[in-house]
Structure 1
Amino acid sequence: MTDQIQRFLFDGTNVRGEIVQLERAYQEVLERHAYPLAVSRQLGELLAAVALLTETVKLDGTLSIEVRGDGPLELLMAESNPGGEMRAIARVAEGQPVPADGAGFRELLGAGRIVITLDPSEGKRYQGIVELSADTLGGCLEAYFSQSEQLPTRLWLAADGARAAGLLLQQLPDDAQSQDPDAWERSVHLAATLQHDELLELDAETLLFRLYHEEQARVFPPKPLHFGCNCSRERIAQALYSLGAEELRQILEEQQAIDTQCHFCNTRYHFGAAEIDALIEAPDAPPPTLH
């Protein structure tokens, strides 16, 4: 009943929705870093949000949400793709005190912005930017949909350090199939009665019945979600190449090798002098494997 996303719609209306529930995928993100509880909660909400948005936009590629602020929590970032792979990371500003367990979104991040990036397998990358104008992540993302997609969208997000969950409702443009002009207001009003614990503890079927047992809901098969990192030696090598030949040679002169790691999954990568020289000379070639 966990680590899945469930789509649904209401027959005869222009309202659709999604419910996401995460446990193991969320825990795998947290196991790789020692985050304060307040940060873990915000990261869980972001994981739920990126899954909901990925399912909503139907992107054949990667969708990422990056939240940057000037508060104690300077970065939240999560990525997801249609295959159900997810990863996320947070970064607490150096020199800041450990956030209190009950610190909320605004207290943690302060002023800043959210960058939503759609990176399709083919075609051009698209980025949308919205300011941190609301007191919750869900409120900021609702503003993004209002400005960029121009589709009324509501999100309810929750996380407690063990589980994360989210509910999204969206009103599509009117069409001939929409026979219920009050459906949007009614569905949002009912969702607003949802308690934080209910969102985290109830399975999707029970949650939908509790909220919408008087509605004609069509529920689609759930899609599984899981932690997954797409880092590789090739990707890391290209990131190193972007530093420039002069800086790479300077690092080699000081260290004789370059050791780095993926910030998402903590996988370590070692590049010796011969590998860096080959990268500088032929950046498009895969780095040689040393035995």
Structure 2
Amino acid sequence: MSENTPHSRDRTQRFLFEEADIRGEIAQIDSSYREILAIHQYAPGVSRLLGEFMAAAVLLATTLKFEGKLVLQVRSEGQIPLLMVECDSQLRLRAIARGAQEATSDRFDQLLTGGQLAITIDPVKGQRYQGIALLSDDSLASSLDAYFKQSEQLGTRFWLACDGESAAGMILQQLPAQIVADSNDRNSQWQHVTTIASTLKDEELLNLSAPELAHRLYHEDPLRLFDTQPLRFQCNCSRERTFNALKSLPVSEVSELLEELGSITMDCEFCNQQYRYVEQDLRDILEPDGPSTLH
């Protein structure tokens, strides 16, 4: 778990336009991002792209109205075969890029060639939902913009940035009509706020605080800023989860592994935590009718 310092900016902050049905959220990830990078040795292009995915996952998780998690996952034919980020409703974050050891590019289209993006919403209670979209050749932000344009009636736009040291993102999203009912007026307001946001530079998104950023963009628009919400890196792996994974294997396979190796070690790809099991630990699997012996 990340122990964020007082100077860390691992947090999100929401803002509302007082005279329009539009909300915004700014996410900034510093120490949690670096903590995740410290676990794996990624090439610079992979590290920056992973940071953008982390910022996007946090922004999307802030829209959840229930307890659960959101998963962004891409499978591609490019230099990163699999990239996955999880963020839950408490803004606990973990991420991994798998099979990217040989990646050398910093171009989105080469790292994720022919990529398919899956956005999965997995509530603790209720049904799991997944949306699928093809990635554009341009960027993750433009891919998400296109996905929401096709799947949602309300406008949604993303701005994402990462410099290898920190990651940040901003989302703007239309809300159902409450303040402004006229569709032409709503469209005009949406055009206004997104046009201004398009002037945003990566260094501003990465270096300015959320209040400074909101003021820099919308000092002429009445805004309401909400309290910041902390986020952190935290893996949800556990000895119980890895034991259950072993339990799903055929008993003969577990027995053969144990006989060959003397013990079985399960590694978490996200945090490198290792869980080691000896024969006594595995009696529940090898002898299903015996008493529980998991330690």
Q: TM-score, normalised by structure 1?
A: 0.91
How far did residue 178 of structure 1 move? 4.9
How far did residue 108 of structure 1 move? 0.4
Aligned residues of 2:280 and 2:293 also touching (Cα < 8 A): no
| 1:231 aligned residue | 237
Does residue 19 of structure 1 match 2:26? yes
Aligned residues of 1:237 and 1:287 also touching (Cα < 8 A): no
For residues 265 and 29 of structure 1, the distance between their equivalents in structure 2, rounded to whole angstroms, comes to 8
For residues 148 and 248 of structure 2, the distance between their equivalents in structure 1, rounded to whole angstroms, comes to 33
| 2:197 aligned residue | 191
State which of 95, 104, 110 in structure 2 corresponds to 1:99: 104
Residue aligned with 2:177, SS: coil
| 2:10 aligned residue | 3
How far did residue 46 of structure 1 move? 0.8
Structure 2: gaps of 5 or more residues? 1-7
| 1:62 aligned residue | 69
| 2:3 aligned residue | none
State which of 158, 168, 173 in structure 1 corresponds to 2:171: 168
In terms of mean alpha carbon deviation, does 217-226 or 56-65 score higher?
A: 56-65
> What RMSD, in angstroms, separates the aligned Cα atoms of the two structures?
1.9
State which of 130, 139, 151 in structure 2 corresponds to 1:127: 130
In terms of mean alpha carbon deviation, does 156-165 or 168-177 score higher?
A: 168-177
Equivalent residues in 2 for 1:204-283, closer than 5 Å = 204-282=210-288
Aligned residues of 2:46 and 2:100 also touching (Cα < 8 A): no
Residue aligned with 2:81, SS: strand
For residues 118 and 13 of structure 1, the distance between their equivalents in structure 2, rounded to whole angstroms, comes to 28
Does residue 202 of structure 1 match 2:205? no
Q: Deviations over 1:68-123 (max 9, x none)?
A: 111111111111112221111112346xx4414xx122110101211111111111
Aligned residues: 284
Does residue 138 of structure 1 match 2:163? no
For residues 210 and 64 of structure 2, the distance between their equivalents in structure 1, rounded to whole angstroms, comes to 21
State which of 64, 83, 95 in structure 1 corresponds to 2:90: 83
Q: 1:13 to 1:242 in 2, by over 3 A?
A: same
For residues 49 and 177 of structure 1, the distance between their equivalents in structure 2, rounded to whole angstroms, comes to 28
Amino acid at match of 1:7: R
For residues 215 and 90 of structure 2, the distance between their equivalents in structure 1, rounded to whole angstroms, comes to 28
Aligned residues of 2:42 and 2:100 also touching (Cα < 8 A): no
How far did residue 176 of structure 1 move? 4.8
Equivalent residues in 2 for 1:141-160, closer than 5 Å = 141-160=144-163
Residue aligned with 2:47, SS: helix
Q: 1:59 to 1:128 in 2, by over 3 A?
A: farther
Structure 1: gaps of 5 or more residues? none
Q: 1:111 to 1:10 in 2, by over 3 A?
A: same
Aligned residues of 1:59 and 1:118 also touching (Cα < 8 A): no
Q: 1:59 to 1:46 in 2, by over 3 A?
A: farther
Amino acid at match of 1:117: T
For residues 123 and 65 of structure 2, the distance between their equivalents in structure 1, rounded to whole angstroms, comes to 10
Q: 1:233 to 1:38 in 2, by over 3 A?
A: same
Amino acid at match of 2:18: D
Q: 1:194 to 1:272 in 2, by over 3 A?
A: same
Does residue 35 of structure 1 match 2:42? yes
